Amino acid sequence: MFSFLILQCVVHAAPARLPSFHTCVGANEERLTPKWYKEHGIEVVLGTRVKSADVRRKTLLTAMGETISYKFLIIATGARALKLEEFGVKGSDSENVCYLRDLADANRIVDVMHSSAGGNAVVIGGGYIGMECAASLVISKINVTMVFPEDHCMARLFTPKIAAYYEEYYMAKGVKFIKGTVLSSFDIDSNGKVTAVLLRDGTRLPADMVVVGIGIRPNTSLFEGQLTLEKGGIKVNGKMQSSNSSVYAVGDVAAFPVKLFSETRRLEHVDSARKSARHAVSAIMEPEKTGDFDYLPFFYSRVFTLSWQFYGDNVGEAIHFGDFGGSKFGAFWVSKGQLVGSFLEGGTKEEYEAIAKATRLKPVIEDTAELETLGLEFALAVSQTPVQAPPQPTEVRGPSLILEKPLYVWHATAGVIVAASVAAFALWYGRKRRRW
Ligand code: NAD
């Protein structure tokens, strides 16, 4: 019925084979093999680079000189890995310097890992790639040193206390951390191979391989000057529709309104990519049935035997809970008196669902000390709070419950949104527990 074109940078043709990596390829989903596309009537054009786009004429020009017309265009161009050269350091093209963005990168890392067995790896960057690669490398018996400019790992998300837990865990596995500095140059031998990493603080680290994970930039260049950009990505509305009504954007490249926070965000995560893609297709195919995208930001990672999930926003005051000396702990973020973000390490499926639901409900928090004491129990109980029909759509305070202004799509179907105040909840919970 519709002719629409999906612009993607990479179509994975072979399975990745990263050792000791927890990847999410095809997790709980159908595997998107060439056969799958064929069976679903989707023509996949591989090996073709789009050289330019004309959104006014609704055409794309390929590097081979072919013009492709569309009725709807979905931009899913993702992002590119930032290169060291963008920070004034040369050497990205050395054979033992690795990035991790696509299948070719993944295969290359595996090859370089094999030829570096028992040797030294320097991991540049303390974000997702840095942490996940460092774990995989050390499991593969390679000595790992991580280098990053911040005071602690995963600085975009973790609090210092959460980061300390993971850093200690990594150190116990043999990973070394050099924080608060960046690399200044490489020692490169006559074969073009990096032999050492020189840091700005004067440290020289011998290296058999280097993994670089210093962030990404969305691939927007085809559309600059034609579509409105925001937060480094293509600005879209709640239907994932850009400033040109025939053009949609999804995934890392899309800056979309996060209803829950009344803010435009660009989220770099597979879950957001999958759900925003589904939403764009639904908005195109069934416009009258498709509301605005109502996404709860979600991030997760699994390294060694650890596993964490995060929902919402990490702004405001962080309230830690649980056993930081053990295996289950977390944090809530409270901003403007409401719970807006939740992190949990070592949770069960039910517990992760509970923190997700509690975060979505944005309960009012009147007593953060109480929240700290209750910890995960708070999320578990809030997530089970029976729903009541709200007398009006604005905030209503009852003796023990606070109804938020709400009416997000998924709640709208249930009829309501209910959130508990922590102080009132503590009272209720205390009574309930005594009955157990
Ligand atoms: P990131 O933004 O997570 O981390 C970048 C890291 O590089 C930060 O620690 C930053 O301080 C550091 N850095 C920046 N400049 C540096 C420099 N000059 N020298 C040393 N360190 C420097 O980005 P990433 O780790 O490269 O990941 C890339 C993308 O892949 C992200 O979008 C990420 O969300 C995604 N990813 C996600 C997962 C997951 O969700 N589990 C896993 C892997 C990758």
Which pLDDT score is estimated for 394?
38
What token pair was written down for 77? Answer: 């161009």
User: Using a 6 Å cutoff on CB, does residue 125 contact ligand 1?
Assistant: yes
Q: Which H or E run includes 382?
A: helix 376-383
Same domain, 237 and 277: yes
In a mutational test of the pocket of ligand 1, which residue from 105, 123, 148 has the highest number of ligand atoms less than 8 Å from its CB? 148
pTM greater than 0.95? no
Among 170, 187, 214, identify where a domain stops. Answer: 214
- Eight-state DSSP code of residue 202: S
User: Using a 6 Å cutoff on CB, does residue 227 contact ligand 1?
Assistant: no
What token pair was written down for 38? Answer: 């064929």
Distance 406 CA to ligand 1 centre (A): 34
∠ Cα 125 129 134 (to 5°):
80
Same domain, 237 and 337: no
Distance 152 CA to ligand 1 centre (A): 13
Whether 294 is covered by a domain: the verdict is no
Which pLDDT score is estimated for 27?
58
Whether 332 is covered by a domain: the verdict is yes
User: Using a 6 Å cutoff on CB, does residue 130 contact ligand 1?
Assistant: yes
Asked if residue 333 lies in contact with residue 318, where contact means CB atoms within 8 angstroms, the answer is yes
User: Using a 6 Å cutoff on CB, does residue 128 contact ligand 1?
Assistant: yes
Whether 40 is covered by a domain: the verdict is yes
Same domain, 74 and 223: yes
Whether 298 is covered by a domain: the verdict is no
∠ Cα 219 221 226 (to 5°):
125
Q: Which residues contact 256 (CB under 8 A, 6 or more apart)?
A: 236, 237, 238, 240, 264, 265, 266, 276, 293, 295
Same domain, 130 and 227: no
Same domain, 207 and 91: yes
DSSP 103-163: HHHHHHHHHHHHHTTTSEEEEE-SSHHHHHHHHHHHHTT-EEEEEESSSSSSTTT--HHHH
How do 79-81 and 50-54 pair as beta strands?
A: unpaired
Same domain, 104 and 9: no
Distance 249 CA to ligand 1 centre (A): 22
Same domain, 253 and 202: no
Q: Which residues of 10-45 are buried (b: 16+ CB within 10 A; e: fewer)?
A: eeeeeebebeebeeeeeeeeeeeeeeeeeeeeeeee
- Alpha-carbon distance of 365 to 3, in angstroms, equals 49
Same domain, 61 and 99: no
pLDDT tens across 390-435, in order? Answer: 444 433 232 233 333 332 333 322 322 333 455 444 444 444 443 3
Same domain, 376 and 395: yes
Ligand 1 atom nearest residue 153's Cα: 9
Per the listing, tokens 């990263």 go with 18
Among 251, 285, 319, identify where a domain stops. Answer: 285
Per the listing, tokens 């709208």 go with 412
Whether 395 is covered by a domain: the verdict is yes
Whether 421 is covered by a domain: the verdict is yes
Which pLDDT score is estimated for 30?
74
Q: Which residues contact 151 (CB under 8 A, 6 or more apart)?
A: 160, 179, 180
Q: Which H or E run includes 271?
A: helix 270-285
Which pLDDT score is estimated for 48?
95
Which pLDDT score is estimated for 6?
59
Low-confidence ranges of the chain (pLDDT < 50): 1-3, 9-13, 15, 390-420, 423-436
Which pLDDT score is estimated for 294?
97
User: Using a 6 Å cutoff on CB, does residue 346 contact ligand 1?
Assistant: no
Same domain, 311 and 382: yes
Q: What is the CATH number of the domain that holds 411?
A: 3.30.390.30
Going by C-alpha positions, the residue among 2, 1, 3, 6 that lies closest to residue 277 is 6
Name the burial class of residue 83, with classes exposed (0-12), middle (13-18) and buried (19+) by CB atoms within 10 angstroms of its CB.
middle
Largest CA distance in the chain: 76
The structural domain count of the chain equals 3
Distance 315 CA to ligand 1 centre (A): 19
Domain ranges, residue 387: 305-435
Which pLDDT score is estimated for 378?
97
Whether 295 is covered by a domain: the verdict is no
User: Using a 6 Å cutoff on CB, does residue 230 contact ligand 1?
Assistant: no
Same domain, 253 and 208: no
Partners of 145 in the beta sheet?
122, 176
Ligand 1 atom nearest residue 126's Cα: 9
- Tell me how crowded residue 69 is: count the other CB atoms within 10 A of its CB: 11
User: Using a 6 Å cutoff on CB, does residue 124 contact ligand 1?
Assistant: yes
Per the listing, tokens 């794309």 go with 60
Among 214, 234, 255, identify where a domain stops. Answer: 214
pLDDT tens across 11-48, in order? Answer: 444 545 666 666 665 555 677 788 888 999 999 998 99
Distance 396 CA to ligand 1 centre (A): 42
Whether 407 is covered by a domain: the verdict is yes
Distance 296 CA to ligand 1 centre (A): 21
Determine which residue's CA is closest to atom 37 belonging to ligand 1.
128
Q: What is the CATH number of the domain that holds 11?
A: 3.50.50.60
Same domain, 94 and 73: no
Q: Which H or E run includes 277?
A: helix 270-285
- Alpha-carbon distance of 297 to 273, in angstroms, equals 11
What token pair was written down for 280? Answer: 């764009």
